[in-house]
Amino acid sequence: MTTTFISQDDIRRQFSKAMSKMYQNEVPLYGELLDLVADVNGQVLENNPKIKAQLEATHELSRLNLERHGAIRLGTKDELTMMRRLFAVMGMFPVGYYDLAPAGVPVHSTAFRAIDPKALSQSPFRVFTSLLRLDLIPDKALKKDATTALSQRQIFTDRAAALIEQFEKNGGLTDIEADEFIKEALETFRWHDNAPISKALYDKLADQHRLIADVVGFKGPHINHLTPRTLDIDAVQRGMVECSIPPKAVIEGPPRRNCPILLRQTSFKALEESVNFKAADGKLETGQHTARFGEIEQRGVALTPKGRALYDDLLNQARITLGGAPTEDNADEYEHLLQQSFAEFPDNYLSMHEQDLAYFYYQPNPKVGDFDKNLPLNALIERGVIEIEPIVYEDFLPVSAAGIFQSNLHGDTAQEYATASNKQDFEMALGSTVFDELELYEKASQQSLAHCLNVLGIAAESQMQLV
């Protein structure tokens, strides 16, 4: 008898829905945020038929209201290795390496996500996963205490581990096994208000960096935020104020544009929550912890290496002119400087394509008549023979991620970690290499172009040389 396995895309989609439900129960304000985002998206689609048509053309409309990502923070190499295996059950693989130490955050990270465009269309859910860098704690005694605390916790249930091994052995899970896997896996991401360490140790860790306390001080890597996608992040930012949801001061990423690029993020400020710590007499000591929040993202087109270099230059230009990091006090000035700086970045897709700044899908225009098949690619696009649609950026930006981290870790002074990036060490802990996100976008774009040219009867070799 042949065993029928559920698709990994279905497991991922069901898991993301279950996690959203759990997080809304734990953080009710997040449910209010989802309602606000849904209202804004509905208004944009109603008022902008071109945006709706574009989303339909790129198969984005059906997945618009699905949560796009969450974030967790791990404490040990073994936790990271096992987390890679857990996400593999859901067809999620490590993409990109992010070193946040230069931004004052003692972690390095990757994003677990689907890597095939068809899989992404089924479920875009991804989890930004950070590994704490204990080597950046200068206090040797504190580092030892943190290491001991982390060594005493087990963040995965025995049954979750068994189901992961079963998946790896058999090549899949049945419907019943997948349901059990989702239930067991959720336990890893659940909030626990009883901490396994003393308040005194928690306070020492928090004095070093609040993120260190967030990782070491709890039974597991509680999901610290989930993120819906919006079509108008500025409207959501204003709406949070109107709904008495306290937003962070600055939207991270590029400024508002007609043709969005990369990623813009904002969030409501992290909640202060009661935690019960271990006390010397065996009783519990009450304290407070601030880490969990709700985030919103607006995604644009993925940029090529040339586009990324231009983006980085323009972003740095605005920050240098500002004279530091954006804050509540200079938020308006920063937005103005961003708009000025990014005036150099083309704000239409045709120009971005011609200047090799962004990645696109290529589609033959079914209404086109006779045309000269010897025309170069850009001419075919200008004449409407080939239509281009932006490839949505599915990943993260180090500066953007760090901004969200810092804005939701209240009370920290700016840290400086003068240390070299350690991708090799991260991949050793991970147990695999990370995928290069730019290579994934390039592959998707080239496959789309090859298919388009084949449909039009154009020799692919001649056109590929002109791309």
DSSP-assigned letter for residue 227: E
In a domain, residue 352? The reply is no
Cβ-contact 329, 416 below 8 angstroms: no
Distance CA(100)–CA(397), nearest Å, equals 10
Nearest alpha carbon to residue 185 among 278, 250, 89: 89
Q: 117 and 82 share a domain?
A: yes
Q: 195 and 74 share a domain?
A: yes
Q: Give residue 415's pLDDT band: very low, low, confident or very high (50, 70, 90).
A: low
Q: Give residue 78's pLDDT band: very low, low, confident or very high (50, 70, 90).
A: very high
Into how many domains does the chain fold? 3
List the CATH number of the domain containing 28.
3.10.180.80
In a domain, residue 168? The reply is yes
**The pair of three-digit structure tokens given for residue 145, joined into one six-digit string:** 């205490």
Q: 235 and 197 share a domain?
A: yes
For residue range 164-212, what is the model confidence (pLDDT) as tens digits? 999 999 999 999 999 999 999 999 999 998 999 999 999 999 998 888 9
pLDDT over 70 percentage in the chain:
93
- The H or E element spanning position 287 is strand 284-290
In a domain, residue 354? The reply is no
Q: 132 and 165 share a domain?
A: yes
Q: 404 and 378 share a domain?
A: no
Q: Is the pLDDT of residue 214 over 60?
A: yes
172: β partners: none
Q: Is the pLDDT of residue 357 over 90?
A: yes
Distance CA(137)–CA(247), nearest Å, equals 31
pLDDT value of residue 413: 46
pLDDT value of residue 268: 84
> CB-based contacts of 89: which residues, under 8 Å, 6+ apart?
8, 11, 163, 164, 167, 173, 181, 185
Distance CA(111)–CA(84), nearest Å, equals 10
Among the candidates 315, 347, 379, a domain finishes at 347
Tell me the average pLDDT of the chain: 89
Q: Is the pLDDT of residue 351 over 90?
A: yes
69: β partners: 126, 227
Q: Give residue 270's pLDDT band: very low, low, confident or very high (50, 70, 90).
A: confident
In a domain, residue 93? The reply is yes
In a domain, residue 326? The reply is yes
Q: Which domain holds residue 450?
A: 359-391+436-467
**The pair of three-digit structure tokens given for residue 408, joined into one six-digit string:** 């939701």
Q: Is the pLDDT of residue 307 over 90?
A: yes
Q: How many Cα atoms are found within 13 Å in the side-chain-facing hemisphere of 289?
A: 26
Q: 151 and 206 share a domain?
A: yes
In a domain, residue 1? The reply is no
Q: 46 and 176 share a domain?
A: yes
Q: 180 and 318 share a domain?
A: no
Q: 266 and 375 share a domain?
A: no
pLDDT value of residue 419: 62
More confident residue, 154 or 329: 154
pLDDT value of residue 239: 93
Q: 187 and 333 share a domain?
A: no
> CB-based contacts of 187: which residues, under 8 Å, 6+ apart?
157, 160, 220
Nearest alpha carbon to residue 393 among 458, 294, 300, 464: 300
Distance CA(222)–CA(226), nearest Å, equals 11
In a domain, residue 215? The reply is yes
Q: Is the pLDDT of residue 410 over 60?
A: no
More confident residue, 325 or 21: 21
Q: 250 and 337 share a domain?
A: no
pLDDT value of residue 417: 61
Helix 233-242 / helix 28-47 crossing angle, nearest 10 deg: 130
Q: Is the pLDDT of residue 350 over 50?
A: yes
The model carries a pTM of 0.89
Q: Is the pLDDT of residue 2 over 60?
A: yes
Q: Is the pLDDT of residue 381 over 50?
A: yes
Q: 286 and 309 share a domain?
A: no
Distance CA(295)–CA(298), nearest Å, equals 10
Find the range with the poorest average confidence among 291-305, 313-327, 416-430: 416-430
pLDDT value of residue 89: 98
Distance CA(381)–CA(350), nearest Å, equals 8
247: β partners: 268
> CB-based contacts of 46: which residues, under 8 Å, 6+ apart?
none
> CB-based contacts of 416: which residues, under 8 Å, 6+ apart?
104
Please state the rounded mean pLDDT for residues 247-256: 89
In a domain, residue 2? The reply is no
pLDDT value of residue 412: 47
Please state the rounded mean pLDDT for residues 71-79: 95
Q: Give residue 405's pLDDT band: very low, low, confident or very high (50, 70, 90).
A: low
> CB-based contacts of 37: which residues, under 8 Å, 6+ apart?
228, 229, 230, 236, 296
**The pair of three-digit structure tokens given for residue 155, joined into one six-digit string:** 């963040």
